[in-house]
C-alpha cells in the first residue's frame, strides 16, 4: 500500500494519471490493474455507483479488497452513492488510499471528510457539473482532494463539458490565497485531445477511463496525458 506523505501528496509536479476501471473489461479487473501499473499511471480510479445517486451500478468494497494485493498503486475510490457515510469504513478496510464522495449526496460533508481521515485515508469532495465551487468553499480547508466532474456522473465515454474547467483556476486561486493543500482532480471525457486544456487549467490529477482502456499503447498515452510525449 502506498503511504504518501502529505508533502508528496500535494507537491507532485506533472499531473498524476488515474485510469478508471469503469472503462475496463469487467470480466478481468486484475488485468486492468496490471495494465495501469505497466503503463506507469500512479493511481487506480475506482468508480463506485449505487444506481441511486447515478443511474448505474458497479461494485463494492470486496473488489478493492481483492485487487489490493495485485498493485501498490494509489487506490482512488470515487463514491457516486447516496449516504456515502455508510460505505467509507468498508472501503477503508478494503484498502482504499483515498475516498472521495459527492457533496450533493451528503448533509454533513465536513463530518464525512474527517471520518475518512480518521480512518487514515485521504479524503476528497466531488462536485457535479451543476455545482459551483462556492458550494464547497467551506470544506476546502479540510479536503485532501477536490474532484471536479467534467461529465454528468454515471457513465464513461462521454464528452468533456468545457465550461466545468472554469472551476479549476477558481479552486487553484483559493488554494493559493488561503494556503490549502488539496489536489485538484478532474474526471470525465479526458483523452488525447482534451488533456492539454485540463492540464493548462491547473489540474493535478487526470482521470481517464475509456481513452486509457481503448488505447493500443497505454504507456505512450500516459506520457501524452502528462504532457511529456508528443
In the complex, what is the shortest distance from the CB of residue 111 to Zn ion, in angstroms, rounded to a whole number?
Answer: 23
Region binding Zn ion by CB under 5 A among candidate stretches 53-61, 106-114, 182-190, 191-199: 182-190
Question: Do 126 and 78 meet the contact criterion of CB atoms below 8 Å apart?
Answer: yes
Q: Which of 22, 24, 77, 98 binds ligand DX5 (CB under 6 A)?
A: 22
Buried b (16+ CB within 10 A) or exposed e, 139-157: bbebbbbbbbbbbebbbbe
* Beta-carbon contacts of residue 190 (< 8 Å; ≥ 6 apart): 150, 160, 198, 206, 207, 208, 211, 225
Cα(33)–Cα(199) distance, integer angstroms: 24
Rule CB under 5 A: is residue 50 a binding residue for Zn ion? no
In the complex, what is the shortest distance from the CB of residue 230 to Zn ion, in angstroms, rounded to a whole number?
Answer: 28
Instruction: Find the binding residues for ligand DX5 in span 142-171 (CB under 6 A).
Output: 151, 153-154, 156-158
Question: Do 144 and 123 meet the contact criterion of CB atoms below 8 Å apart?
Answer: yes
Rule CB under 5 A: is residue 47 a binding residue for Zn ion? yes
Residues at the site binding ligand DX5, with contacts judged by CB under 6 A: 20, 22-23, 45, 47, 78, 80, 151, 153-154, 156-158, 187-190, 207-211
Residues at the site binding Zn ion, with contacts judged by CB under 5 A: 47, 78, 187
Amino acid at each position: 500500500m502506498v503511504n504518501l506523505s502529505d508533502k508528496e501528496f500535494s507537491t507532485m509536479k506533472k499531473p498524476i494519471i488515474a485510469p478508471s476501471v469503469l472503462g475496463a473489461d469487467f470480466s478481468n479487473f486484475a488485468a486492468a490493474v496490471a495494465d495501469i501499473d505497466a503503463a506507469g499511471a500512479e493511481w487506480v480510479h475506482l468508480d463506485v455507483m449505487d444506481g441511486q445517486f447515478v443511474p448505474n451500478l458497479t461494485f463494492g468494497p470486496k473488489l478493492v479488497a481483492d485487487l489490493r494485493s495485485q498493485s501498490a498503486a494509489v487506490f482512488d475510490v470515487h463514491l457516486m452513492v447516496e449516504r456515502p457515510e455508510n460505505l467509507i469504513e468498508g472501503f477503508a478496510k478494503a484498502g482504499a488510499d483515498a475516498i472521495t464522495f459527492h457533496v450533493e449526496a451528503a448533509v454533513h460533508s465536513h463530518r464525512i471528510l474527517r471520518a475518512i481521515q480518521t480512518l487514515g485515508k485521504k479524503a476528497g469532495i466531488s462536485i457535479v457539473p451543476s455545482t459551483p465551487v462556492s458550494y464547497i468553499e467551506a470544506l476546502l480547508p479540510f479536503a485532501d482532494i477536490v474532484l471536479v466532474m467534467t461529465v454528468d456522473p454515471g457513465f464513461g465515454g462521454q464528452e468533456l463539458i468545457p465550461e466545468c474547467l472554469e472551476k479549476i483556476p477558481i479552486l487553484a486561486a483559493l488554494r493559493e490565497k488561503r494556503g490549502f493543500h488539496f489536489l485538484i482532480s478532474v474526471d470525465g471525457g479526458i483523452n488525447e485531445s482534451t488533456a492539454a486544456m485540463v492540464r493548462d487549467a491547473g489540474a493535478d490529477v487526470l482521470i481517464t477511463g475509456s481513452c486509457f482502456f481503448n488505447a493500443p499503447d497505454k504507456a505512450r498515452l500516459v506520457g501524452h496525458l502528462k504532457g511529456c510525449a508528443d
